């Protein structure tokens, strides 16, 4: 069985503990990731879809670092608040990657924006 988790609209910013519409985006993503680690591991991959950051290319390293504890491949799709070229450049290899097509255990995932 293939176990996939999708996360979306993280809106991470370059400054730690930044808020968006009154929500601490770091705390929100950390709570989601903790839930995933507690209840949904082991898993095969994570699809991070859209608005990973919020109009800030300096936030991509923070986003990647926050996902490292999952210790599973993360494939990213940019959203309207992301910068696709920056995402592709900063997530070209390693655990967190910008991919358009992923094949895993006989499944194909096509990430379209």
Residue 113 lies inside a defined structural domain of this protein: no
pLDDT above 90: percentage of residues in the chain: 94
Determine contact, residues 65/30, Cβ cutoff 8 Å. Answer: no
Determine contact, residues 72/7, Cβ cutoff 8 Å. Answer: no
Determine contact, residues 78/113, Cβ cutoff 8 Å. Answer: yes
pLDDT tens digits along 61-78? 999 999 999 999 999 999
Residue 27 lies inside a defined structural domain of this protein: yes
CA 88 vs CA 3, 31, 41, 49: distances in Å: 25, 26, 27, 14
Residue 16 lies inside a defined structural domain of this protein: yes
Residue 69 lies inside a defined structural domain of this protein: yes
Residue 19 lies inside a defined structural domain of this protein: yes
What is the value of pTM for the model shown? 0.93
Average pLDDT over the chain, rounded to an integer: 95
Residue 3 lies inside a defined structural domain of this protein: no
pLDDT tens digits along 83-103? 999 999 999 889 999 999 999
Q: What is the CATH number of the domain that holds 48?
A: 3.60.21.40
> Residue 113 pLDDT more than 90?
no
What total of structural domains would you count in the chain? 1
pLDDT at 100: 93
Please give the residue range of the domain that contains residue 62.
9-106
pLDDT at 80: 95
Task: Give mean pLDDT, residues 17-36.
Answer: 97
For 106: left if phi > 0, alpha if psi spans -120 to 50, otherwise beta; the answer is left
Residue 60 lies inside a defined structural domain of this protein: yes
Residue 2 lies inside a defined structural domain of this protein: no
- CA–CA dist 61, 111 (Å, integer): 21
């Amino acid at each position: 069985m293939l176990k996939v988790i999708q996360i979306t609209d993280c809106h991470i910013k370059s400054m730690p503990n930044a808020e968006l519409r009154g929500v601490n985006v770091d705390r929100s993503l950390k709570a989601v990731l903790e839930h995933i680690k507690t209840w949904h591991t082991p898993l095969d991959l994570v699809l991070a879809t859209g608005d990973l950051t919020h109009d800030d290319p300096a936030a991509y390293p923070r986003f990647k670092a926050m996902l490292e504890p999952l210790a599973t491949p993360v494939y990213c799709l940019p959203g309207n608040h992301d910068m696709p070229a920056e995402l592709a450049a900063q997530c070209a290899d390693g655990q967190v990657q910008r991919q358009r097509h992923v094949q895993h255990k006989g499944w194909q995932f096509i990430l379209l924006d």
